[in-house]
Amino acid sequence: MPATTRNDTPVAIEGGGVEMRKQEIGGDMDVAFAKFPKGTDMAPPLKGLPDDMCQCPHWGYLLKGRLKMRTKHGDDIYEAGQAFYWAPGHAPEALEDCEYVDFSPTKEFNEVIDHIKAQMG
C-alpha cells in the first residue's frame, strides 16, 4: 500500500509562509500536508470558484494551531488535536500558525489547487 512522509511529498503551493504539499496516495485520493501562518486567509485565492469557496471535501487532522472555516452556513473553529471533515463549500483562515494533514479526492483537489495557482500568478 502506498505511503509518504511530509518531506517526500512534492510542494504544490508555496508562498507567503503557506506551504501545501500533496501527492496521490492511491484509490484516486490525495494526501496533503499544509502549513498556514497566522492570518492566512484562503478566501481571496478561492474567488471565482462556485460560491467563492473550495468545492473539494477533505478528511484530516489538525496537528497545530487554530483554524476558522468559513461556510455559507456560518463559521466553525478547529483546534490542534481535532480530526475533521470539511464538506465542499469552505474557505479557511488561520487564527494561529496551523499545520494539518488531510485526504481528498484527487480530481476535485487538483481543480482547486490549479485555481489557487492561477490566482497567485
Dihedral of alpha carbons 40, 11, 60, 115, sign: positive
Determine the average pLDDT of the residues in 34-40: 97
φ, ψ (nearest 5 deg) of residue 22: -150, 150
The domain of 52 spans 11-101
Domains identified in the chain, total number: 1
* 53-111 per-position pLDDT tens digit: 999 999 999 999 999 999 999 999 999 999 999 999 999 999 999 999 999 999 999 99
**121 belongs to a structural domain:** no
**111 belongs to a structural domain:** no
120 has a pLDDT exceeding 90: no
**22-39: buried (b, 16+ CB within 10 Å) or exposed (e) per residue?**
bbebeeeebbbbbbbeee
pLDDT at 1: 66
Alpha carbons 86 and 48: distance in angstroms, whole number: 19
**77 belongs to a structural domain:** yes
**112 belongs to a structural domain:** no
**106 belongs to a structural domain:** no
CATH number at residue 34: 2.60.120.10
**115 belongs to a structural domain:** no
**pTM of the predicted model, to two decimals?**
0.93
* 17-36 per-position pLDDT tens digit: 999 999 999 889 999 999 99
φ, ψ (nearest 5 deg) of residue 116: -60, -45
